[in-house]
Structure 1
Amino acid sequence: MARTTGKHFSKKFVFFLSFSGLLVAALIADFLWASSSSSSSSSSSAYISTASIWALENSGSSIIPIVENKAHKRGTVKDKKDPVPGRVLSATFADIPAPELQWEKMAAAPVPRLDGAAIQIKNLLYVFAGYGTIDYVHTHVDIYNFTDNTWGGRFDMPKEMAHSHLGMATDGRYIYVVTGQYGPQCRGPTARTFVLDTETKQWWDLPRLPVPRYAPATQLWRGRLHVMGGSKENRHTPGLEHWSLAVKNGKALEKEWRTEIPIPRGGPHRACVVVDDRLFVIGGQEGDFMAKPGSPIFKCSRRHEVVYGDVYMLDDEMKWRILPPMPKPDSHIEFAWVIVNNSIIIMGGTTEKHPVTKKMILVGEVFQFQLDTLKWLVVGKLPYRVKTTLVGFWDGWLYFTSGQRDRGPDDPAPKKVIGEMWRTKLSL
């Protein structure tokens, strides 16, 4: 009796296990099919960047990561802006809430410029070179007079001088121009360096940089011209090297550049500022466009870039100190800064790529770095997002000109190269 009951129980138990196994197998198969189907029709959920988290914490907003539907790429869905209704990631996700500023439009520069350079000496802003279009570069200098708000005094650059991605610094009369890209598209860099006497408009050479560089951080500090980082000869690989040259009154006091302590993080498009006997290097990126292999015109080809907001300071012992980072990663700001009331003001730039479209995102904020507290503030908005601005400050007015602006309020991707000049009263 006991054995019969045991056998009967065993058969029921085996049947139960078999049924359960089949059910589990069916569920697993269904899950795998759903996962496969999902992966074939959508990409991975987009990350939320540090910048957007910062913005969320300070705005009270919320963002739901979007899942991009690849059907859009095949043209099977008409509304490309809304692949998943109700889960749209705004194209302006990286904007940081900021006070509104009252901007006044001034006389535009004689030509539009991208990746140009600028140096302010007293009431004059000297604006150099830059792209007019990707296939055309400027070979001259324009001057803006802050006193009467007019452009004038155009003159030519040396024929051997680079046209974009320049390193540049001044002692108040002489402007030192270091290396950079020679020609349009993504042509190679030069190691040539020059000096401009702004009083006589005369140019002359300095010793060549040990190797060519694109957009190195450049500044005069303690009687020496310092050149750091930038991109190497292929335009993409970050350089860490740091050189200096003793100079005085526009002349080199040495025949060769001296090797200094390498910068902790390499790359181009950074602000480099000397104030109160302190040298700061701010923001930048690793990587950049490269020339397409075999292209006879050195056509630019996109490469992966990492934008960062790191801030470094060189101290009395010639060691690098790490300071609080910018409110969000920011690049293309090498001439987008000015010193106002013991603060460094930085305007515009580029930040992290859009997590879904992977397009470049321009910056529309005005940042303040307080030199006494070493703290960052967001003190205003530009009229639009824009990169490679050329900035000046005079009689309480903050100016910017040139660069590449966004496609509109709802699209932070770059579009038009501009020559516009704007100003606003800045009270800090």
Structure 2
Amino acid sequence: MAVGGKHASTKLLILFLLVLVLGLALLADFFWASTSPFSHYSRFSSDPSTNRRVVTTVHSSTKGSADQPKQKIKIDRSQKTSASQELNATFADLPARYLEWEEMAEAPVPRLDGAAIQIKNLLYVFAGYGTIDYVHSHVDIYNFTDNTWGGRFAMPKEMANSHLGMATDGRYIYAVTGQFGPQCRGPTARNFVLDTQTTKWSDLPSLPVPRYAPATQLWRGRLHVMGGSKEDRHEPGLEHWSLAVKDGKALEKEWRKEIPIPRGGPHRSCIVVKDQLFVIGGQEGDFMAKPGSPIFKCSRRKEVVYGDVYMLDDEMKWKQLPPMPKPDSHIEFAWVVVNNTIVIVGGTTEKHPVTNKMILVGEVFGFNLEKLEWSVIGRMPFRIKTTLAGFWEGWLYFTSGQRDRGPADPSPKQVVGSMWRTKLRL
């Protein structure tokens, strides 16, 4: 009996010590959480009069938080993430001033690799992935005047669902080539034009060969299409074609060869400002369809992201300009022009050299066209790629794309349809 009692006492002592250690660990975790810079959560309150949600930050340990004053959020991510410590600026958030953002009415559907064109106070948002296995084939319209979504209508069944090239003359929207279907399916060479006054579609001559996400713009009466990825979705294309168009109609039956772009690849901004054509950022390489996959399942391949800037001059020669503050891709519809400055919103940069994960961009960049200089305008509410941007009456807007996993993790996670805006003064 004495031996049994001794064993029972030993077991009770061990159990007591385990409980004590566990209690101390939980207590330490509580104190760490209460002092951690990430121990905040965002609370959203609806404002029906403005059709937006105001973001307020509340400390997780504050009691009676419902009585705290509401403030529009000011984002501060000046601290490097744990995964990016001791790395150069390419892989870390760049120093940037605060921008005060407010969340507006969410888009009817989330979109990744969609397209967008702004005409006056309307933002036409096209296609895109809903998930990797589902793509959209319709258009949604955001009205900047009353900050509402509406006016959905269908796209042609033969039109690409992602990786489109797109440009407008102020009434007609020209939609060029792109990927047809989900996952990593093949591209189409088919092109279409939308009359925004009637929402009617018509055909344009097909490209000589299909492309993924080519740089596309209207310049001097011609629709220019250049770069992008070739038919395998991975190899960069250098080809450059143009087609004379007017009032939504092609004036020629075939595309004309133009001077090749110095560096190929998809996911670039292409902008015409004051009769000058600019091509900004992008990447070489992209995901490919897995060989033999019946659903064209996406398979990772090596990608090189760059910040190169090119301008096509009066002699139809390419001129290289100062590069972006960091390499930036997935920005084909992430730009606006404000007071002679090209503004780029979000994107992706080079993959992390240690984890090999994609790193999303959370900065707003500006390129001053008079000084030919880049600057970091400010920080976004989170890092995000393939944003669809607009600008109206002093407000910078962006919607849709794929955002980061959180302040400490810049890799991509959720595809979103949220709409945000900030007052921008340049």
1:276 to 274, 277, 291: 274
1:177 to 140, 154, 175: 175
* Pairing 1:418–2:421 present: no
Q: How many residues align?
A: 349
Counterpart amino acid of 2:328? Answer: D
Percent of aligned pairs with the same residue?
A: 82
Q: Offset of 1:61 from its aligned partner?
A: 9.4
Q: Offset of 1:62 from its aligned partner?
A: 10
1:163 to 161, 164, 176: 161
In 1, the alpha carbon distance for the partners of 2:288 and 2:408 equals: 29
Q: Offset of 1:60 from its aligned partner?
A: 12
CA RMSD of aligned residues (A): 1.9
Q: Offset of 1:396 from its aligned partner?
A: 0.3
The corresponding residue for 2:14 is: none
Structure 1 contact 366–379 (Cα < 8 Å) conserved: yes
Aligned to 2:396, the other structure's residue is in SS state strand
For residues 373-393 of structure 1, give each alpha carbon's deviation from its aligned partner in whole angstroms, at most 9, with x where no partner exists. Answer: 110000110000000000000
Structure 2 unaligned regions, length at least 5: 1-76
Q: Offset of 1:269 from its aligned partner?
A: 0.1
Counterpart amino acid of 1:345? Answer: V
The corresponding residue for 2:142 is: 144
In 2, the alpha carbon distance for the partners of 1:154 and 1:250 equals: 21
For residues 367-413 of structure 1, give each alpha carbon's deviation from its aligned partner in whole angstroms, at most 9, with x where no partner exists. Answer: 00001111000011000000000000000000000000000001000
The corresponding residue for 1:8 is: none
The corresponding residue for 1:154 is: 152
For residues 269-298 of structure 1, give each alpha carbon's deviation from its aligned partner in whole angstroms, at most 9, with x where no partner exists. Answer: 000000000000000000000000000000
The corresponding residue for 2:3 is: none
Structure 1 contact 192–207 (Cα < 8 Å) conserved: yes
* Residues 119 and 61 (structure 1), Cα distance of their counterparts in 2 relative to 1, 3 Å cut: closer
For residues 98-122 of structure 1, give each alpha carbon's deviation from its aligned partner in whole angstroms, at most 9, with x where no partner exists. Answer: 0110000000000000000000000
In 2, the alpha carbon distance for the partners of 1:61 and 1:227 equals: 40
Structure 1 contact 180–214 (Cα < 8 Å) conserved: yes
Counterpart amino acid of 1:374? Answer: L
Aligned to 1:401, the other structure's residue is in SS state strand
The corresponding residue for 1:317 is: 315
For residues 229-262 of structure 1, give each alpha carbon's deviation from its aligned partner in whole angstroms, at most 9, with x where no partner exists. Answer: 0000000000000000000000000000000000
Q: Offset of 1:95 from its aligned partner?
A: 1.1
In 2, the alpha carbon distance for the partners of 1:361 and 1:207 equals: 38
In 1, the alpha carbon distance for the partners of 2:330 and 2:93 equals: 17
The corresponding residue for 2:349 is: 351
* Pairing 1:225–2:211 present: no
The corresponding residue for 1:247 is: 245
The corresponding residue for 2:5 is: none
Aligned to 1:190, the other structure's residue is in SS state coil
Q: Offset of 1:268 from its aligned partner?
A: 0.1
Aligned to 1:181, the other structure's residue is in SS state coil
In 1, the alpha carbon distance for the partners of 2:78 and 2:145 equals: 43
Structure 1 unaligned regions, length at least 5: 1-58, 64-80
Structure 1 contact 92–411 (Cα < 8 Å) conserved: no
In 1, the alpha carbon distance for the partners of 2:200 and 2:187 equals: 23
The corresponding residue for 1:212 is: 210
In 2, the alpha carbon distance for the partners of 1:205 and 1:142 equals: 21
In 2, the alpha carbon distance for the partners of 1:249 and 1:232 equals: 30
Q: When the two structures are superposed, what TM-score results if normalisation uses the length of structure 1? A: 0.80
2:358 to 348, 357, 360: 360
The corresponding residue for 1:238 is: 236
* Pairing 1:123–2:94 present: no
The corresponding residue for 2:93 is: 95
Aligned to 1:103, the other structure's residue is in SS state strand
If you compute each CA radius of gyration, which structure gives the higher value, 1 or 2? 1
2:372 to 371, 374, 393: 374
Counterpart amino acid of 1:198? Answer: T
Aligned to 2:356, the other structure's residue is in SS state coil
Structure 1 contact 337–346 (Cα < 8 Å) conserved: yes
For residues 17-65 of structure 1, give each alpha carbon's deviation from its aligned partner in whole angstroms, at most 9, with x where no partner exists. Answer: xxxxxxxxxxxxxxxxxxxxxxxxxxxxxxxxxxxxxxxxxx99999xx
Q: When the two structures are superposed, what TM-score results if normalisation uses the length of structure 2? A: 0.80
Counterpart amino acid of 1:191? Answer: A
The corresponding residue for 1:32 is: none
For residues 193-240 of structure 1, give each alpha carbon's deviation from its aligned partner in whole angstroms, at most 9, with x where no partner exists. Answer: 000000000000000000000000000000000000000000000000
In 2, the alpha carbon distance for the partners of 1:237 and 1:278 equals: 28
Counterpart amino acid of 2:104? Answer: M
Counterpart amino acid of 1:263? Answer: I
In 2, the alpha carbon distance for the partners of 1:365 and 1:142 equals: 26
In 2, the alpha carbon distance for the partners of 1:402 and 1:91 equals: 26
Counterpart amino acid of 2:414? Answer: K
* Residues 91 and 98 (structure 1), Cα distance of their counterparts in 2 relative to 1, 3 Å cut: closer
* Residues 60 and 171 (structure 1), Cα distance of their counterparts in 2 relative to 1, 3 Å cut: closer
Aligned to 1:310, the other structure's residue is in SS state strand
* Residues 89 and 199 (structure 1), Cα distance of their counterparts in 2 relative to 1, 3 Å cut: same
Counterpart amino acid of 1:233? Answer: E
Counterpart amino acid of 1:222? Answer: R
The corresponding residue for 1:10 is: none
In 2, the alpha carbon distance for the partners of 1:370 and 1:230 equals: 26
* Residues 61 and 105 (structure 1), Cα distance of their counterparts in 2 relative to 1, 3 Å cut: closer
The corresponding residue for 2:201 is: 203
